[in-house]
Each structure stands twice: as C-alpha cells, then as structure tokens.
Structure 1
C-alpha cells in the first residue's frame, strides 16, 4: 500500500507501505539515475529504505484492489454538485447545479445569481456574467426547483453523494433562506461524502485531496473538472470505488454511514486545525458536517 506525504508530515515507514516527502537532500534519481537537486523532487521510503526521484519519475500510487463484497454501492444513489461565487459557502451564490441519477439521467441548472461573478471564481468553473445573464434562470425559480428535487431524493430514502458536502449543503441551505424558500430537511438525509471516506480509509494521506487527483487514484473518469454534472458523476463513481475497495465502508448502512462521517469529518478537521496552528496560520476550521451553522474565518 502506498501513501504520500508532503510538507512537514513525518511517519516511520513499515515494511508494507511507501511514503513520500519532498526531498531535502540532493541525490541520484532511482529511475533515470540523473541528479535530483534538493527540494526539486521526491524522497520515497519503501520498507525503510529512501530513494530520490524526479517528480515525473516517481512511482505511481495505486488504490487497493476491488473486492467481491456486496453493499450500498450496488444500490441506486444520486450525485449532487454546485458551482458558486465564493469559497465561503455562506457567502456563495450558486451559479450552476446538477443532480445525477442512478438511471443515467441528469437535472442541470444554470442560475443568474443577480450579483457579479468574481473573476477568480470564473477562472475555476468557467461561468461568466454574460453566460448567466443570457441563459441563466432567475435564482428564486431555479433554487426552488433544486430544493424540491433534493427533498424528493431524501424523501425517497436514496443516498445523496456529495464531494465536500459541507460546502454544497451549506451554500444551498443559505441560498434557500436568502430567497425565502423552504429549507431542505438535511437531518433526514443519508449523505455519502467520498472526501471523508477517503480520509477515513487513507488516514496518512498527505498529498492533494482535490477531486481530480483523487479520481486518478481511484481510477474514476472526471470528464470536465468544476462542471457541476461532471463533478457530481465523478463523486458517485468515487464513492462506489471506495466502497468496492473497502468492505467495512460498503457494508455500513447509508444512515449509519452518514452518522459515522459526522465524527470522521470532525476528527479530520481537528487534525487540519492542529496543522494550521503549528504553522501559525490564522485560520479556523469548522467541525460541522454536513451543514455549517457558523461562519468560518
């Protein structure tokens, strides 16, 4: 099993795992044998032995093999994703959203938020003011449809798969309240968040946790990153891929899995907060999942 470390993380490698950090010392690349300058590559520890590699020469991580066990990953689930105007979910206005159903059908919304879309947000998802003004729905109409559609998924008892659900759930909850629309009953939902599942099954993972990078690890196709439909579909495929590789995840009923993720998320974020504190960074991490009720700094 391989796990990747970056930054200040330290761990004593066992004979069964491979660890990676940025190389602190120069050396000869373990693959091409050319020199790797200090800080310009990776130092890989396999079974207690360190080797240096250029980034492009380093061994590729592979996820554990799929098993033959049964579980919720054999049953229908619905994927959900939004794109917004702000990284803070309580400040974000939704500009696009998608639901991906188990039968392959999708529901998509392009929404005119009624406020300018910041250029840095457009740089991420590619949605411009001109696009939403010409083809977007009024926010109250679109959000009412989206809220109703998600409420039906929950009422039907179908698990809702959402990558980094704290953002999407909190942003939608805030938007519905902002427009005087009925809230979604999130306390009745069974949400499966593959970002939390990954943190639980790979507790020493210190590499990128972005959707695209994790998709590569779990051998999931992400057609267009930061497109709501593509991200929702990839989230479902990743959740299924994790469950197929980890029997204890697959055999946990979605309702119980939802409750377990509340605790897993809180612990994962406590670890992140401790890292921020050690770095002297003035950042506060929310421990609430899936719905945040307090504004983050």
Structure 2
C-alpha cells in the first residue's frame, strides 16, 4: 500500500488582509496538486477583498489595496472557485496540506459564509483530511530552538522556498516540508491519513494549551493566553457572529 505522502497532495495557502479569522479577508490564494508521480498543477487567485488592505499586510505579501481593486476578481467568485477546487481534491482522497491549517481553513470558511458560498466542510463532511507541517514539526521535534514559521521549517528540512509569502510558493513549500517530515519519521509516514488527522487534532490542542500556558507565565503577555484557540483544523463557526 502506498504511503500517504507518496500519493497526490493538495497544497493550500492564503495571503490575507490580517490575522483575525473572523473579520479579515482573502487577498491571494493558491490550490496546488503535487506528487504522486504526476506533474504539479496549481491554480492561483487574487481577490478584491472589499476592504482596505492594511500597510502591514501589504508589506508581507506585496499586494496593495489599489492593486487588488484593479487586478483582483470579485471575492465571492474567488471563494467559490477555491472551495470547489479544494472539494474536488478532498473527494478524490487527497489530503489538504496547509501550514497553520486552522488559520487558512477558518478564514476560507468565514469568507464562504460571508459571500453565500457553501463552506468546504459542508461539502466534504467527514472526508476532510488535513496535514499541517507546523503541527507535525512541533510533534516530532518538540524542543528544537528557533522559529517555526514556514521559512524556518524550509531551512530545517532542506526545502526550497521560491518566494516566501506568495500563496503559490508557500503552498508548494508546505507540501515539500510535509513530505520531508513523513519520509524521515516512520510513525508519521507510516500512518493512515485517518489516524494522522486524529493525532494532529490532539497534538494541535496540546501545542495550543502549552502556548497559552507560556503566555500566562510571561510578564506582559498574560492577556495573550485568552486569544489562543485549541481547535484544529477548523475553528467552529458561531452562528450570528463574526462573518459580517
């Protein structure tokens, strides 16, 4: 039986207007299919998010409000096409590979609800299987010092990153990092996708609880603990809140 990481992987990444999953919007997105002995296929989108893109966000991904308005497609159209592309991958049995998956998948969920698009979770139900390099890395190398951002993981696992903070480069790099971790760690590489998904739910919760505990013990950061969410790979939607 072929190991999961030797099959087709569906990479997914967003660049956004900010880091609040309830109120921020998609600016650029990528869904990429790679591996499994077939050529890489990728689709990318730029959206007009319908709100101003803060300067801090533009400095990260390079897209300004003016550029998004001039070159971006309507946000509802982008969200609908992105959800459809990911749903097709999931229903074909491919895992969605996303760095810090709970951020990207939750943003996409809220954008879908905002624009009247059927959310991915509602389409695919229990078929969704996610691989999060950030969660895996913390699980297999818990005490390594240094950063855990995608650029850091690419250095750690000797993965090429062809332009950080562009959605297509980040999506492909996340797949490469996941492949490296799985090929190095027999437990990760030899697991079924069902088991790996369940393990990551538990690992992500433990990692978040540890982070919140660290904040509570760190002078000046105590209040940050309240903002740490433990849900993975999707923060549940609270009806009546947040997606306006």
TM-score (normalised: structure 2): 0.89
List gaps (5 residues or longer) in structure 1.
1-69
| Match status 1:241 vs 2:156 | no
Q: Give the equivalent residue in structure 1 for 2:241.
A: none
- How far, CA to CA, are the matches of 1:139 and 1:148 in structure 2? 14
Q: Which residue does the alignment assign to 2:4?
A: 72
Structure 2 counterpart of 1:287, from 226, 230, 234: 230
Structure 1 Cα separation of the partners of residues 176 and 17 of structure 2: 26
Alignment of 1:193-212 (within 5 A): 193-212=132-151
Contact 2:10 2:86 in 1 (8 A): no
1:82 aligns with 2:21: no
Shift of 1:157: 1.1
Contact 2:3 2:190 in 1 (8 A): yes
SS of 2:22's equivalent in the other structure is coil
Aligned pairs for 1:169-180 within 5 A: 169-180=105-116
Task: Give aligned pairs, total.
Answer: 226
Task: Give the secondary-structure state (helix, strand or coil) at the position aligned to 1:77.
Answer: strand
Measured after TM superposition, the shift of residue 134 of structure 1 is 1.5
Alignment of 1:48-127 (within 5 A): 71-102=3-34, 103-127=39-63
- Picking from 67, 72, 75, the partner of 1:136 is 72
Picking from 160, 183, 196, the partner of 1:221 is: 160
**Could you tell me which residue of structure 2 aligns to residue 149 of structure 1?**
85
Work out whether residues 18 and 57 of structure 2, in 8 Å CA contact, stay in contact via their aligned partners in 1: yes
Question: Could you tell me which of 180, 189, 195 is aligned with 1:250?
Answer: 189
The 3-state SS of whatever aligns with 1:101 is strand
**Which 4+ residue blocks in structure 1 deviate beyond 3 angstroms?**
none
Q: Which moved more, 1:80-89 or 1:233-242?
A: 80-89
How far off its partner does 1:187 sit? 3.8
- Normalised TM-score (structure 1): 0.74
What SS does the corresponding residue of 1:99 show, helix, strand or coil? strand
Is the contact made by 2:13 and 2:99 (CA closer than 8 Å) also made in structure 1?
Answer: yes
C-alpha offsets along residues 155-199 of structure 1, whole Å, 9 cap, x if unaligned?
A: 111111000001100000000001111011264211000000000
Taking a change above 3 Å as real, the CA distance of residues 242 and 251 of structure 1, as seen in their structure-2 partners, is same
